[in-house]
Chain A
Amino acid sequence: MLTFARYSIVALSPYVNEEDPTWLCWCNHVHFVEFASKNSFSWEDIVQMNHLVLQHHSLFNQVYPGEATPKFHWLLHMALDIWWNGPLKHVSCMRFEVPDLTPNHNLNLIR
């Protein structure tokens, strides 16, 4: 999913109206996910990421009215949490999910 998201902006941009709010919303989302995965942050990075999140939420409500879930609330914490605790990558459990990949893969094979 992240691979597709990262390539999507470069690959799809020639075929979309780049002023389309749906497209702008998607680009904002991919950009702040990229930001959230960084290893280090400057103050300008944090401010820019916060701006991207706010802009994304605004566009999302415009493009998909009524579809926002409470998950979006968590994204609002991101900038402050990075400022206090450093990159989110250091407190993500994704690294610990890696040992689950093999059994999950095997289960998918026999499903």
Chain B
Amino acid sequence: MGAATLRICKNCNVESHEISGLFNYLRSDCPKLLTTAASHMRDICIVKEHPHLSKYLGVSGQDHAFVGIVPGMPFNFTPSMPYDHIMHSAAEGTLKWECKHMLKTLFASKPSDEFYHYISLDGSAQEISFNTLISKDFNWPEVPSLTLQTLITP
């Protein structure tokens, strides 16, 4: 490996040949990453005592590794995985759960009702499921906000 392959770690500004582990711009042994990983040692201790929490905390029983958060990830254990899990927890996990319960609490008549009604532009009543409402195929911007008023109707 020649000198030309020396690169600067974006995290600690140290030149290294070892930049290959994470998105190709961080040293695999970057001390800042290791320091940050150390802040999760408490989580690892929790999982050691309560193994059933591992799926929530994203930590394996081993001291040095974090379990793969998402199947098919292109790299193996890195200390950065907790942050990736944060993004998933914030953007996919808790958000969806809370959205569903927020709609039920504020708009739905029955807690078990999975369907909502709205009036389309031509005046006809439409039924829409929660899963459709949050799916990427649902063209949300085309639903005028006025029609959402009927979400509160039983």
* Interface set of A (CB-CB < 8 Å, partner B): 1-5, 7-8, 10-12, 14-16, 20, 22-23, 25-26, 29-30, 32-33, 36-37, 60, 63-64, 67, 69-75, 77-78, 80-81, 84-86, 88-94, 96-97, 100
Interface residues of B (CB under 8 A from A): 10-11, 22-23, 32-33, 35-36, 39-40, 43, 53, 56-58, 69-70, 72-74, 80, 82-96, 98-99, 101-102, 105-107, 133-134, 136, 138, 140-141, 145, 148-149, 151-152
If A4-B99, A91-B84 touch, whether A100 touches B72 (CB-CB below 8 Å) is: yes
Query: Chain B: interface secondary structure?
Result: helix
A5/B80 in contact, CB under 8 A: no
Whole-angstrom distance from the CB of B144 to the nearest CB of chain A?
A: 9
Given contacts A74-B85, A81-B83, 8 further A-B contacts (CB under 8 A): A2-B95, A14-B145, A32-B90, A69-B94, A78-B90, A96-B72, A96-B73, A97-B72
